[in-house]
Structure 1
Amino acid sequence: MTQAPDKTNWPLVALLYALGLLAAGHFAKAALTLGALAERYPEAGGVLPFAVSMTSVAGIVFGATAGIVVARFGARRVLLAAVVVGVALGAAEALLPAFGLFMALRLAEGFAHLAIVVAAPTLMAASCTAEHRGAVMGLWGTFFGVGFALFSLVESLAGTGLYWVHAALLAAVGAAIAPILPRGVGRGGATAEGWLARHVAIYTSACRFAPALMFFWHALMFMSLITFLPEFLGGWTAPLLPLVALVGTFWAGAATRSIAPQRLAVVAFAAGAALMVLFLLLPGLRLAIAVPMLLAFGAVPGAAFASAPLLNPDPADTARANGAIAQFGNIGTALTIPLFTLALGEGLGGMAALVVVLSLAGMAAVSVIFARVSPSAEAG
């Protein structure tokens, strides 16, 4: 196990967080430019939206393996390789090549994205004191929403030039962070096991799997909530709802210093489900109810990311846990829109019922998996 440093390396934490924002940009740049891409690729038709989800494929298939790769080669090497490859792929995408090649580049870029979201939080956790770790991991949990919001602003100014901006920023942050990245973090315990055996090693360990299982139920709901709730609140709320959830995420990360992550997550799921029922029953108060509801659901990823280093103090195991989070997060993100679209066939009542069912499932899953976590591991 690697001992926590005596002092938090805030410049390194800030640069790693910046890489997280750029990892969010892997998804944001395609999602925000779908209209322009439709004009560039009229032959794509109904396949075009998959330009966004193609980046999820790597995480779904290889999320857990990425943690093993970090454990084998170290977080520094993996992160720098991801930056170099990401810059090259991003620049190639910016040229808007033929559609088949563009989609292939999006698929390949998913591996760079995956490497960043596994290696960066592992390095962040290893670069801060035990006192600051919860808050730092809570900060990391906000990367997707903050990054998406920032790239929305860039897209409004640059259009498809967003692709060039993203590649340039990734190169700049990579150059700034390379000299100060610590060596050897996250490396250790790698084996020559096959793909299946590696997954078994992670998913038979309660400490490594618990954060991912917690995050999965959040991922099954979050994107759909911020996508569909504005239909019942007013379109003007669309850019604000993710920011509300991010407050809950950051607060939860800090709160894990005094509240066990699993207790925080169970309470958050319960509160979110109850507030969703009130959202259905009290139409005149929906905006007032939506704010605390998203704060509650936003607390879950903060608890999940904070629990990864708490349950797995060795950075190599933290990397494995973060890999599992990435894998299950991508699965949840891929499933959420279809699930909620189906539920909304029954109107808001169908959506509310689905939220309650998923929240109860999340509460049960978290309770069961954390019951298998040893007290010594939970204490960190």
Structure 2
Amino acid sequence: MTHSFRVLLQVVLLWAAGLGAATQFAKIAVPFAEVARLYPDNADAIGWLLSIISLIGAALGALSGMITGRVGPSGLLISGLVLGGAISLFQASEPSFYIMMASRLVEGLSHLVIVVAAPTLIAQITLGRTRNVAMVLWSTFFGVAFALNAWIGLPIVEQFGLPAYFALHGILMLVIAVLIGLCRIRVDLAQSSVGDWGLSALIKAHVQTYRSPFISAPGIGWFFYTLTFVSLLAILPGRLPEELSAPIAALMPLAGIVLSWVAVPLLLNVMSSIAVVNLGFGLGIAAIAAAFLGLPLPVVCIWLFAVLGLVQGGSFAAVPDLNETAEAQALSYGAIAQMGNAGNLLGTPVLLTVLWRTDEAGMFGAVVVFYVAAMAAHLWLARRRRAGIR
């Protein structure tokens, strides 16, 4: 087996781990009606089965980056996959609501480890253009997983039920863990002790992460991306004519994946990853401006989500672009995980509140403010990097 083929196989397996992590969200979100029917007496709290993973990520994302960088991403990734697989197999027993909720809380730890450790490994085993393509591939894991769960998962639920669906996810997670273990992926880490695991470690992780304009930049931009991505994906299809709602909702994330795949590797040859991110935000503002000028909303939806693919691919490529060591990359991916989960938690309530208190124009205006703030934050962080601040 040649070295190039071995690296390709490893990247694909690590991406598959990401698909498993994203399915930890999708397995509740996609067959949500079936999950709600499983717990009819807890309808008012059923949404927590989905969002509790985001709560874990928002609280512990930065700390997970520090632990991954210092302990080692390979072992942690396999542990996260095994834990996630075991939890899915347990969930196949259809436990009571509060036990299911507790299992989802633990599953949040599994998810967090995977989405920090896997891209850290990808960034370490690839170089140059190969790394750019690999990081763009990684950036598609969430959208691809949701699409696969809709196309393949829902028919499984309809034919065999939720227990089979959860069990299949658990088995696949365990198989991926075994295959990654057999690959024996190793990376060089900075020699440092892990130290205290208490409150002081949590504070130190946040200080080390967010004081650095190199480590924090991808995550800070990612916050503004996630603040609007899931929320607009939920809100915009409902503003369309009924016959267009479902097809546009399916095309929106697909447009971002396609443009990210096609354009980001090419753009990274001529501009920095952060410039690609800001280009995506700027074109997003242009899409909203076109809506104010009368461009039909379905076209605006596709345009907006297509150019957000630049933010998606550019943000993940920015981590190894700005950070050379595995420890710094792990911290940066931890910041992406933390900021992304925070954005997912806040985005829908914030934009719905703006929409209800104003109108559609007010909501789009808020999105423009978020994107301007994202571009300003990236320009400010770039200035600090040029000043030599580490």
TM-score range, shorter chain: over 0.9
Match of 1:322 among 333, 339, 343: 333
Q: Deviations over 1:232-263 (max 9, x none)?
A: 34212111111101123334541223211222
Contact 1:252 1:303 in 2 (8 A): no
Report the CA distance between 1:343 and its aligned residue.
2.0
Question: Structure 2 counterpart of 1:347, which letter?
Answer: D
Report the CA distance between 1:275 and its aligned residue.
1.1
Match of 2:34 among 24, 33, 36: 36
Contact 2:143 2:253 in 1 (8 A): yes
* Alignment partner, residue 139 of structure 1: 137
Structure 2 counterparts to residues 213-252 of structure 1, below 5 A: 213-233=220-240, 234-235=244-245, 236-251=247-262
Report the CA distance between 1:306 and its aligned residue.
0.4
Residue 334 (str. 1) matches residue 334 (str. 2) = no
Q: RMSD of the alignment, in Å?
A: 2.0
Question: Structure 2 counterpart of 1:195, which letter?
Answer: L
TM-score between the two structures when normalised by the length of structure 1 = 0.93
* Alignment partner, residue 49 of structure 1: 47
How many angstroms apart in 2 are the aligned matches of 1:89 and 1:7? 33
How many angstroms apart in 1 are the aligned matches of 2:178 and 2:234? 35
Structure 2 counterparts to residues 64-83 of structure 1, below 5 A: 64-83=62-81
Contact 1:71 1:189 in 2 (8 A): no
How many angstroms apart in 2 are the aligned matches of 1:274 and 1:188? 47
Shift in CA distance, 186/149, structure 1 to aligned 2, threshold 3 Å: farther
Contact 1:249 1:302 in 2 (8 A): yes
Report the CA distance between 1:17 and its aligned residue.
0.5
Report the CA distance between 1:187 and its aligned residue.
5.6
How many angstroms apart in 2 are the aligned matches of 1:6 and 1:32? 36
Give the match's secondary structure for 2:385. Answer: coil
Give the match's secondary structure for 1:258. Answer: coil
Contact 2:190 2:325 in 1 (8 A): no
How many angstroms apart in 1 are the aligned matches of 2:143 and 2:189? 26
Question: Structure 1 counterpart of 2:202, which letter?
Answer: W
* Alignment partner, residue 181 of structure 2: 178
Give the match's secondary structure for 1:229. Answer: helix
Report the CA distance between 1:288 and its aligned residue.
3.0
Q: Deviations over 1:310-368 (max 9, x none)?
A: 11111111111101110000000111110111122133212211111111111111111
Q: Deviations over 1:112-146 (max 9, x none)?
A: 00000000001111121222111111111111000
Residue 24 (str. 1) matches residue 27 (str. 2) = no
Match of 2:372 among 349, 360, 369: 360
Question: Structure 2 counterpart of 1:222, which letter?
Answer: F
Residue 201 (str. 1) matches residue 208 (str. 2) = yes
How many angstroms apart in 1 are the aligned matches of 2:229 and 2:263? 16
How many angstroms apart in 2 are the aligned matches of 1:30 and 1:74? 30
Report the CA distance between 1:227 and its aligned residue.
1.7
- Long gaps (5+) in structure 2: none
Contact 1:58 1:111 in 2 (8 A): yes
Contact 1:137 1:306 in 2 (8 A): yes
How many angstroms apart in 1 are the aligned matches of 2:187 and 2:276? 32
How many angstroms apart in 2 are the aligned matches of 1:190 and 1:297? 39
Shift in CA distance, 249/37, structure 1 to aligned 2, threshold 3 Å: same
Give the match's secondary structure for 2:126. Answer: coil
Range 244-253 or range 93-102, more displaced: 244-253
How many angstroms apart in 2 are the aligned matches of 1:116 and 1:354? 32
Shift in CA distance, 221/8, structure 1 to aligned 2, threshold 3 Å: farther
How many angstroms apart in 1 are the aligned matches of 2:334 and 2:8? 24
Match of 2:171 among 168, 172, 178: 168
How many angstroms apart in 2 are the aligned matches of 1:223 and 1:200? 28
- Long gaps (5+) in structure 1: none
Report the CA distance between 1:165 and its aligned residue.
1.5
Give the match's secondary structure for 2:123. Answer: helix
Residue 305 (str. 1) matches residue 313 (str. 2) = no
Shift in CA distance, 200/251, structure 1 to aligned 2, threshold 3 Å: farther
Report the CA distance between 1:155 and its aligned residue.
2.7
* Alignment partner, residue 100 of structure 1: 98
Question: Structure 1 counterpart of 2:121, which letter?
Answer: L
Report the CA distance between 1:6 and its aligned residue.
8.1
Shift in CA distance, 35/123, structure 1 to aligned 2, threshold 3 Å: same
Contact 1:8 1:129 in 2 (8 A): no
Contact 1:7 1:129 in 2 (8 A): no
* Alignment partner, residue 86 of structure 1: 84
Give the match's secondary structure for 2:95. Answer: coil
Residue 261 (str. 1) matches residue 240 (str. 2) = no
Report the CA distance between 1:200 and its aligned residue.
0.5
Match of 2:119 among 105, 118, 121: 121
Give the match's secondary structure for 2:36. Answer: helix
Contact 1:269 1:359 in 2 (8 A): yes
Residue 277 (str. 1) matches residue 284 (str. 2) = no
Contact 1:71 1:190 in 2 (8 A): no
Contact 2:115 2:337 in 1 (8 A): yes
Shift in CA distance, 185/105, structure 1 to aligned 2, threshold 3 Å: farther
Residue 148 (str. 1) matches residue 146 (str. 2) = yes
Question: Structure 1 counterpart of 2:82, which letter?
Answer: V
How many angstroms apart in 2 are the aligned matches of 1:55 and 1:104? 11
Question: Structure 2 counterpart of 1:21, which letter?
Answer: L
Match of 1:157 among 146, 149, 155: 155
Report the CA distance between 1:185 and its aligned residue.
4.5
TM-score between the two structures when normalised by the length of structure 2 = 0.90
